[in-house]
Structure formats: structure tokens, C-alpha cells
């Protein structure tokens, strides 16, 4: 078996579905990078609107929030390095960036984005205590990291449709539905 993959441009949202958005989609919709991929942002934004209008569920996990916050902070850090004229290899995130006014402003912005995300999604338990960890570890490969395998397993177990912009996840052998660009 393999995943059923649908293109976000052609995808027809059905009433009552359950969706799980990967971090890269949340990043496109809410983070600083959103304006750099306008066509993708527009398509995923339209999908999000359709999902909400059809009373479907959008689930999120603590691991997704962790990825979102950490990746967003790293993007802000990279921008700070450029604005400060620093050399990336000589600049440490924790030692040099944390505690700066730029970090504090960035964190405030990111936490507001997280609040927006949480307002349109439902918190999903991660099921770590009962999820098939052996399956996750077995599915890891050069194409898939732990988090990718974990999300696939979570979607398979809970019959959620995975919305992702990560081509690595399209290679899964699990029988899940995926919506992607």
C-alpha cells in the first residue's frame, strides 16, 4: 500500500474530515517566510478556509508547536545575524542572540502567531504512550526523520488527512491520505 496523494490545487474538502497540518504548512501560513512563497501560501490558505467552512477538524500536536517555535526563532536569528553584520559560523544562538531586544521582539511575534494557530486548531494528544514506536523507528530512512515518521503514524492511527509541503512525507508506504502542493 501507499499513500493517497492529492494536489492542494485540486483537492475537494469533504464535510467532517480530520486534518493534521505539518509544520511547513503552518510556516507558510503564519511565519516570516509566508510572503516568499506566495502561490503556495495562497493555495494552502484557500485549503484552510475550505476546511474551516466545512466544519472539519484541524489537529495540532505539541511537537508541531515545538517545531514551529524553534524554526521561527532560527529564521529570526538568521535575519538578526545579517542585520548585525555578524558571521554565522562565529555567532551562537543561545549565547549571542537570546536575551537581545531582537530575540524578545521575535519571540513576542512568534507567540502571537502560535496563538493564532491554536485559535483555529484543536490540540491533539500525541499518543506517545500507545503509538507504535517500532513502526516509527522502522519507517525512518534517509528520506524521513523521526518527526516525519511520527506524524505519518499519528495520521494513520487516527485517520487524519496529512497536509504537508514536505516531499519526504510523500514517500511513505502507509495507507494515509496526503494533501500537498
Give the residue carrying C-alpha cell 500537498.
180
Average pLDDT over every residue of 40-66? 96
For 119-139, the pLDDT digits (tens) are 999 999 888 888 888 888 888
pLDDT over 70 for what percent of the chain?
97
Q: Give the end-to-end CA distance of the chain in Å, rounded to a whole number.
A: 22
Task: Report the alpha-carbon distance of residue 176 to residue 152 in Å, rounded.
Answer: 8
The reported pLDDT for the residue numbered 37 is 84
pTM for this one? 0.91
The DSSP letter of residue 13 is P
Task: Report the alpha-carbon distance of residue 96 to residue 175 in Å, rounded.
Answer: 45
Amino acid at each position: 500500500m501507499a499513500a493517497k496523494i492529492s494536489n492542494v490545487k485540486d483537492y475537494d474538502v469533504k464535510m467532517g474530515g480530520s486534518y493534521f497540518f505539518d509544520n511547513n504548512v503552518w510556516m507558510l501560513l503564519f511565519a516570516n517566510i509566508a510572503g516568499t512563497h506566495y502561490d503556495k501560501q495562497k493555495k494552502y490558505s484557500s485549503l484552510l478556509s475550505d476546511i474551516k467552512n466545512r466544519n472539519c477538524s484541524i489537529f495540532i500536536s505539541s511537537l508541531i508547536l515545538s517545531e514551529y517555535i524553534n524554526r521561527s526563532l532560527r529564521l529570526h536569528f538568521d535575519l538578526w545575524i545579517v542585520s548585525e553584520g555578524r558571521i554565522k559560523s562565529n555567532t551562537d544562538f543561545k549565547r549571542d542572540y537570546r536575551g537581545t531586544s531582537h530575540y524578545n521582539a521575535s519571540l513576542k511575534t512568534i507567540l502571537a502567531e502560535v496563538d493564532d494557530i491554536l485559535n483555529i486548531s484543536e490540540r491533539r494528544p500525541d499518543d506517545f504512550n500507545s503509538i507504535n514506536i517500532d513502526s516509527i523507528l522502522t519507517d525512518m530512512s534517509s528520506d524521513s526523520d523521526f518527526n516525519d515518521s511520527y506524524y505519518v503514524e499519528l495520521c494513520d492511527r487516527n485517520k487524519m488527512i496529512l497536509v504537508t509541503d514536505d516531499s519526504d512525507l510523500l514517500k511513505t508506504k502507509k495507507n494515509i491520505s496526503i494533501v500537498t502542493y
